Amino acid sequence: MNMETADKKINQSVPGAWSKRPLIISGPCSAESEEQVMATAERLAATGKVDMLRAGIWKPRTKPGMFEGIGTKGLPWLQKAKKVTGLPITVEVATAKQVQDALTFDVDVLWIGARTTVNPFSVQEVADALRGVDVPVLIKNPINPDLELWGGAVERVARAGIRNMGLIHRGFHTYGNTEYRNAPMWHLAVEMKLRYPEMMIINDPSHICGRRDILLDVMQRAIDLDFDGLMIESHVDPDNAWSDAKQQVTPEVLGEMLNSIIWRKEDVNSEEYHAALEKLRHQINHLDDELMQILGQRMKIAEQIGRYKRDNNITILQTTRWNEILERAFAKGDKLGLSKEFITKYFDAVHWESINHQRKIMDS
């Protein structure tokens, strides 16, 4: 180990806030000026609800010519904000040089952005620069919905010897307009939580929403899904922010939002609650068993149909029949309170399983 790495190792420590739940990180999308950083930090600290200050120093922008971050000169502002408010600081890093600069200015937690997580070369460069430094690292999901890529970034950083890692769910790019800037695809975040149960996962509603009016709804959903915390962008003058103006809120508005969230726990110690839950779960298990029985029967019938189709040289797939099945299901499901989205997914799965059963018969 050379002197430089030895120094880094001594300098870095895990901030106390790291293990606080829910962990609330906030600050501007981008550091713009010393005044803006200081004022945001002080007003965030005054809410008493924020545990860590964030600010983008280097900004990966979609198009050239947009504000690409204030650069290294903004790091002393964050250092000062930390000194004045006592809030640990976190910034996004995407290159070895950025890692070194951030560590030189005592950044407490680093995060890897969504546009970096997609690129194994960049993640590896950051990971290599982290070797010998025990700084906590948060890893945002890649912009495309690929859990392997997200997990790959986790592994690269872990292999560099980083012991404290967390995940940030910031939604996924989808083509075309949706109500979100990035679709949350909650099931992917939950799947990641199941794959890495020892890692914290926090939600970034700002980059999911891209707008203020639905932030609270997404924050509440994340808490309902037992996320460990939130990273939300805030700015002293959101409308005039140099990046992501539409999605930022003032520190005071953030404070009110955090106040109105219903904080839920994963578990409570009440016996009555556990007994009631146990009973309902028993019923669910029973219904699930019945569903499996019924699905098994459905596949047996599909196999009989497969035999007729084989003997009469008919294709497995008949699109008109498939549409008929879906239409029937939509009509029935509507009355039962089942969404079209669920029905489509469910019947898609059932249909493919059914086709595979028929296929087996055709091949036999």
The least CB distance from residue 310 to Mn ion, in Å, is 57
Site string for Mn ion, 181-220 (x = CB under 5 A): ----------------------------------------
H helix or E strand, kind and range, residue 120? helix 120-130
Of 229 and 333, nearer to ligand PEP (C-beta) is 229
CB neighbours of residue 198 within 10 Å: 5
Residue 243 C-beta: closest distance to ligand PEP, Å: 7
Least spacing, CB of residue 16 vs Mn ion, in Å: 26
Site for Mn ion contains 29 (CB under 5 A): yes
Residue 170 Cβ vs ligand PEP, minimum distance, rounded to whole Å: 4
Nearer to ligand PEP, 123 or 361 (CB): 123
> Is residue 31 within 8 Å of residue 59, measured between CB atoms?
no
- The set of residues, in sequence order, having a beta carbon less than 8 Å from that of 80 and lying 6+ positions away, is 34, 37, 38
**In this structure, are strands 23-27 and 229-233 parallel, antiparallel, or unpaired?**
parallel
How far is it, in rounded angstroms, from Cα 336 to Cα 356? Answer: 29
User: What's the CA dihedral at 216, 67, 104, 142 to 10 degrees?
Assistant: 50
For 281, other C-beta atoms within 10 Å of its C-beta total 10
Size of the site for Mn ion (CB under 5 A): 2
212 binds, among ligand PEP, Mn ion, none (CB under 5 to 8 A by kind): none
Is 17 or 55 the residue whose CB approaches ligand PEP more closely? 55
Q: Which residue is nearest to Mn ion (CB)?
A: 29
**Which of ligand PEP, Mn ion, none interacts with 140 (beta carbon under 5 to 8 A by kind)?**
ligand PEP
For ligand PEP, the binding residues (CB under 6 A) are 29, 56, 113-115, 140, 170, 207
Q: What angle do CA 320, 343, 184 make, to 5 degrees?
A: 125
Q: Which is nearer to ligand PEP, 17 or 94 (CB)?
A: 94
Residue 113 interacts, among Mn ion, ligand PEP, none and using kind-specific CB cut-offs from 5 to 8 Å, with ligand PEP
Nearest to 43 by CA among 81, 77, 79: 81
Site string (235-274) toward Mn ion, x via CB under 5 A: ---------x------------------------------
Preceding omega of 145 cis (within 30 degrees of 0): no
Cis amide leading into 22 (omega within 30): yes
Q: Which residues bind Mn ion (CB under 5 A)?
A: 29, 244
